[in-house]
Amino acid sequence: MRRVAVLAMALAALTAGASAGEFQGDGTGGVARACSEPWSKCSSDAQWLRRVLARVGYRNIGDTGSALTTPIVVGHVRQLRYDWATSAWLPKPPYRRLYKVGDTTVYGDHDVRIVWSVQGVGVWVEPPPSRRTVARLVVATRAVRRSR
């Protein structure tokens, strides 16, 4: 499958909400049916990520079905940030190393989203927050135990 088609599918899944299941490891939106509800409602990874976001201080955590959402303000415009987790992720183009938080490497793809691996999953954030927020998120993803 061509990369453009894969990226278009991922964007469609994020904006419309996947109908059910867990994302696969490359973050491009391949969905394996794991439950009868959307990922955000039934996945243990979604439950873990909710605890991570709450630990960082987010109180209004929503979802699209395929991702968790947190409200952000960019300039004077209110937007949503999308957060999701996939099975283990290995770096590959177009993702490049951006920086490290402790011993965790954060990768990105041209300011669209970032990803890092922790506790056997890839954690994805779109759009990328500030480095300070990323550091808080990375530390929280290492500290909050994920059930497997």
pLDDT tens, 95-138?
Answer: 999 999 999 999 999 889 999 999 999 999 999 999 999 999 99
Residue 34 pLDDT: 55
Per-residue pLDDT reduced to its tens digit, 128-144: 999 999 999 999 999 99
Report which of 121, 75, 116, 122 is spatially closest to residue 96, judged by C-alpha positions: 116
| Token couple for 80 | 């949503």
Question: Which class for 36: exposed (0-12), middle (13-18), buried (19 or more C-beta within 10 A)?
Answer: exposed
The predicted structure's pLDDT at residue 88: 80
- The reported pTM is 0.76
* Dihedral angle sign, alpha carbons of residues 94, 24, 112, 6: positive
User: pLDDT of 63-107, one tens digit each?
Assistant: 999 999 999 998 899 999 999 999 888 888 899 999 999 999 999
